Structure 1
Amino acid sequence: MKRTAALLSLLFLVTAAGCAGDAEPAADTVSLLVAGTPDELAAYRSLAAEYQKASPGATVNLIEASSAKDLMTRVSTSVAGNAAPDLFLINYRNYGQFAVKGALAPLTARLAASGSLHERDFYPQAMGAFRWGGEQMCLPQNISSLAVYYNRSLFQKYEVAEPVAGWHWNDLVATAQALTRDAGGRTVKAGDPETAGVPAAVHGLGVAPELIRLAPLIWSNGGDIVDDPAKPTRLTLDTPEARQVIQDFLDLTKVGVVPSDVEVEAQDYEARFAAGKLAMFVSSRRVTTAFRAITGFEWDVAPLPQYRSPANILHSDAYCMTKASSRQDAAWRFLEYALSDPGAALMARTGRTVPSRISVATSPAFLSPGTPPARSQIFLDTIPALRPVPTISTWPEIEDATGKVLENAFFHGDPLDKVIADLDAATRPVFARGTAAR
C-alpha cells in the first residue's frame, strides 16, 4: 500500500512539473513585448483584452518593459537565448539592429495575402520607415511627430498670443521669454538687473537636448544631419544651416527660458509641464495619455516652429514578428486585429497614438472632439512634412553618443565649434560599423 501511494505521489509530481514547465502554449497564444509608461501599458492591456473578447480561445501574454532601452535589452537577450517573444513593438529608429541580424520575420507576403490589411490602408511615411532590404519588416501602429504642448491657461493669464501655424523659431523664443515668470508673476529675463538672481517659478520652454529634436529644425533651415540619408557615413552639422540651428538651440540656456540641469534632474520636463511649471514642452504624441489626467489647467498642442519651411521628424512604432516564433500564424491574426479599424480606434481613443491607419486617423476616435488636445488635427497636417532619420543598424548608438555631447553643451555652455567636432568624433566610428536598410 505504501509502495502504491509513493508511486502515485511521484506520478503526480512528474505530471505537475510537466504541465507547469514543459507544456507548449496553445496555438492561439501570442506573446507581445511592449514598453511604456503606466498609462501606455494600460492601453496595451486594453487592446489585448479586446482582442481576446473578439477571438474566443485566443490569449495574449503581454510582456511589459519599463522603457525602450529595457525593451531592446530584452529583445536582444531573448533572441540570443532562442526565447524571443512572438511580437514586439519598437520605434523605427531602433529596429535596424534586429533586422540586420535576421531576427525578424518579413511581413511582405502576409500583407499581400491578407483579406483585412492592405498597404494602402496606412500612411506611406510610416510604412516606408520599416522596409529593410526590400521587405516590409514590421507594420506601423502610429505616425506621430513633434508638437509644442502648451499651457493655454498661462497664455491667457499673461495675455500672450497662442502659437499659430507657420510660426518661426524666433517667435517660439520670444513667447518663451514672455512666459518665464517668478513666483509673483513677474517676467524673468536673463541680463535684467531687476530680476537678477530671482528663480523662475515657471519656465517658458522645455525641450530635450537631443539630435532628434534638432533634426527637424535643421531640415527646416535647408540643411541635413547626415551626408547620405540612404547610406550615411557621418553627420553633416558644420554647414551654415546646421550651425545656425545648433547655436540657436544652445542659446536657450543663455536667454534663461529653460530649466537648468539641476531642475530637470529633480523633476523632468513631462512632470514639470503637468505641474504647471512649463509653459511649453516639445514632445511627440506619446505624452497625451498622461496629460489627459491634468485638471489644474487647460492645455493644447501647436505645430513645431520653423525656419525657412515646414519640417518635422517621423515618430513611428511598429509591430515586428520574430523569425524564431513558432506561432507566427497566431501572431499575424493578432496583428490583423490590432491594426484593424476597431483595434486602431481603441489605441487612438487612449490618446497614445496618431494612428498609422488612415481611416482611423481621420475619424473621431483620434480627432477626439471634446477631449484634449483640441487641435489634434495638427498631427495630421504635419504628415506631408515628415522625414525619417536614417535607418541604420547602429542608429541607437548614434543617438546615445550625440545625446551625451548635446546635453553637456546645452547645460554647460560649450562653444559651437567644440560641440560640432565632438559630435563628429563620437559618431564616425559608429556610422562605420552600421548597416543601412537599402
Structure 2
Amino acid sequence: MRPKALLALALTAVLAATGCGSGATSGGGPVRLLVFGAPEELAAYRTLIDAYGRARPGERVQLIEASDRKDLLARLATSVAGGSPPDLFLMNYRFYGQFAAKGVVAPLDDRIAASDAVDPADYYPVAMEAFRWDGKQLCLPQNVSSLAVYFNRTLFTRYGVPEPRAGWTWNDLVGTATAMTRDSRGLVIRGTEAEGAARLPVVHGLGVETSIIRLAPMVWSNGGEIVDDPAKPTRLTLDTPAAREALKNLVDLRQAYGVVPSDAEVEAEDDESRFLNGRLAMLMTSRRATTNFRTVTGFEWDVAPLPVYRQPVGVLHSDAYCMTRGARNADAAWRFMEYAMSAEGQRIIAATGRTVPSHIETSRSPAFLDPTRPPRNSQVFLDAIPTVRALPTVSTWPEIEDASYGILENAVHRGDRLDDVVRDLDVITRPMFARGENG
C-alpha cells in the first residue's frame, strides 16, 4: 500500500479512536514529542528538552524522530488510528489541516485562557492565525520564518559581484545569478549552452525548489493570486497574467538563463549540499537551513530578502506544537508547551539557529539577532514578517503541493509549454480542492 493510501486509511479511523476522549488525561511516563528534521535541527530540540528537564526536575520528554515529513505524517496517522498517539507533534501549518479536519488535534483555547505563561498577544498574529481552525486555536507556533536568499559572500567577493540587498528586483536576481554562474576558469557562462566540459558550470548562480511554496511569493509580489479564494479555495489561479508571468520567470531560470542546476545535477547533489560545498552562489530557502549552514567553515555567508516585483511579499513558514486529542499525558504535555513557548524556551531554540521566534520580544533579542553568529543580517527575517502571507490550510493541501511539484519540476527542467503546465496543474489539483475541508 502506498504511503498516501495508508495515510488516508488511517485517518478514517481517527474519529472513532478519539471521539470518546477529552485529551485531558494524565497517564504517566514521559511526554512523547514527534518531530522530523535534519540532524542539526533534531539536536536543537534535544537542547530544548534537556533545558526543560533541568528547569523542571522530574518532568520528562521523549523525542520521537521521524526520518522526513512523509514519515512524520504516516507515523502520526497510524499511531492515532492505533490508539497510541504521541502527546505532542511539531508540524507546519501547510500540513496540519488534514488532522484538524478529522478531530485529531486538541483545541488549546481553555488551556491558554488559564495559563500565566502563554499570552497570545506576545506572539506574531500571522503565525497564531495560521493554526486557527473553525475558530479555535489548535496549535502554538514556535516560529514565524519566511523565505530568504542565502548567499555565499566569499564567492561574491572573489568575482567582484555586488551582493543582493533590500529592494532588489526579479531582474536584479536574474542578472546577479547570471554573473555568478561560472566555469572552472572562473568565467561567466551565459545561457544554457556549454562549449565542452571546460564550459560546464562549477558554480551555479541560484538554487530554488520547483514548488508552489517558492512560486507563491513571486505571484503575490506581482499582484496575482495562486488560488481563487484563500479562505475556501476551489482551484489554482495560475492562468492569470500576473501568475503566468511569475511562472514563466521561474521556468526561465533554467530554460533561458541556465543559472539553476539541471535536473541531473540536482539528483547528484541537492541544492543545500551544493551551497554547503561552495558550488552555489545563492539559495532561496527558509530559516531552518541555518542550523546546517552554521557548520560551514570554508566561506562566509549571509542572507538577503526576496526580490520584489511590484511589492514586497513573503510566504509564511511556521511550525507549531500540537497536542493530540488522545494524548495520555495531556497535562504534562501542556506544561512542556508552556515552557517551549515562553521567552526562555524560545531563546534556547533560537540560539541554535533553527527558528525565527514567534515570541515577539525574543525575536528582537540577541538570542536571535546575535551578529557574531551567521547569518549576520538576521534582521532580514524580521523585516519580512509584516509582508508574509499564509498558504491555504485546506486539508488536502499536502496532496496539492506534492502533485504540483512534479509538474513544476518538469516545466523548469524539460521546458514544457506554459499552457500545458497551467492546464495540467488545474486538471490534477481541482479534484483535490473539491475533497478538501477548510477550518
Q: Same fold (TM over 0.5)?
A: yes
Q: In structure 2, give the amino acid aligned to 1:306.
A: V
For residue 13 of structure 1, what is the aligned residue in structure 2?
Answer: none
Q: Deviations over 1:257-311 (max 9, x none)?
A: 0111111001000000000000000000000000001011100000000100000
Describe how 1:399-418 pairs up with structure 2 within 5 A.
399-418=401-420
What is the percentage of aligned positions where both structures have the same residue?
61
For residue 331 of structure 2, what is the aligned residue in structure 1?
Answer: 329
Q: Tell me, in whole angstroms, the C-alpha distance in 2 between the residues paired with 1:85 and 1:46.
A: 20
SS of structure 2 residue aligned to 1:346:
helix
Q: Deviations over 1:4-45 (max 9, x none)?
A: xxxxxxxxxxxxxxxxxxxx9963621100110000011111
Q: In structure 2, give the amino acid aligned to 1:302.
A: A
Structure 2 alignment gaps of length 5 or more: 1-24
Q: Tell me, in whole angstroms, the C-alpha distance in 2 between the residues paired with 1:262 and 1:193.
A: 15
Describe how 1:304-383 pairs up with structure 2 within 5 A.
304-383=306-385
Q: Is the 8 A contact 1:164 1:302 kept in 2?
A: yes
Q: Tell me, in whole angstroms, the C-alpha distance in 1 between the residues paired with 2:26 and 2:131.
A: 29
TM-score, normalised to structure 1, is: 0.93
Describe how 1:36-435 pairs up with structure 2 within 5 A.
36-190=37-191, 198-254=199-255, 255-435=257-437
Q: Deviations over 1:311-333 (max 9, x none)?
A: 01000000000000121111100
Q: Deviations over 1:372-398 (max 9, x none)?
A: 000000000000000000111000000
Q: Tell me, in whole angstroms, the C-alpha distance in 2 between the residues paired with 1:26 and 1:323.
A: 14
Q: Tell me, in whole angstroms, the C-alpha distance in 2 between the residues paired with 1:221 and 1:25.
A: 51
Q: Deviations over 1:194-218 (max 9, x none)?
A: 6897200000000011010000010
For residue 15 of structure 2, what is the aligned residue in structure 1?
Answer: none
Radius of gyration: which is bigger?
A: 1
Q: Tell me, in whole angstroms, the C-alpha distance in 1 between the residues paired with 2:192 and 2:329.
A: 64
For residue 14 of structure 2, what is the aligned residue in structure 1?
Answer: none
Q: In structure 2, give the amino acid aligned to 1:304.
A: L
Structure 2 vs 1, CA of residues 191 and 86 (structure 1 numbering), >3 Å: closer, same or farther?
closer
1:115 Cα deviation after fit: 0.5
SS of structure 1 residue aligned to 2:253:
coil
For residue 32 of structure 2, what is the aligned residue in structure 1?
Answer: 31
SS of structure 1 residue aligned to 2:400:
helix
Structure 1 alignment gaps of length 5 or more: 1-23
Structure 2 vs 1, CA of residues 100 and 158 (structure 1 numbering), >3 Å: closer, same or farther?
same
Q: How many residues align?
A: 414
Q: Tell me, in whole angstroms, the C-alpha distance in 2 between the residues paired with 1:26 and 1:130.
A: 27
Q: Is the 8 A contact 2:142 2:358 kept in 1?
A: yes
For residue 12 of structure 1, what is the aligned residue in structure 2?
Answer: none
Q: Tell me, in whole angstroms, the C-alpha distance in 2 between the residues paired with 1:181 and 1:435.
A: 47
Q: In structure 2, give the amino acid aligned to 1:45.
A: R
Q: Deviations over 1:134-169 (max 9, x none)?
A: 000000000000000000011111111111111101
Q: Tell me, in whole angstroms, the C-alpha distance in 2 between the residues paired with 1:318 and 1:86.
A: 14
Q: Deviations over 1:81-116 (max 9, x none)?
A: 111000000000000000000011100111111001
For residue 18 of structure 2, what is the aligned residue in structure 1?
Answer: none
Q: Is the 8 A contact 1:111 1:118 kept in 2?
A: yes
Q: In structure 2, give the amino acid aligned to 1:258.
A: V
Q: Is the 8 A contact 1:28 1:58 kept in 2?
A: no
Q: Tell me, in whole angstroms, the C-alpha distance in 2 between the residues paired with 1:142 and 1:68.
A: 17
Q: In structure 2, give the amino acid aligned to 1:84.
A: P
Q: CA RMSD in A?
A: 1.4
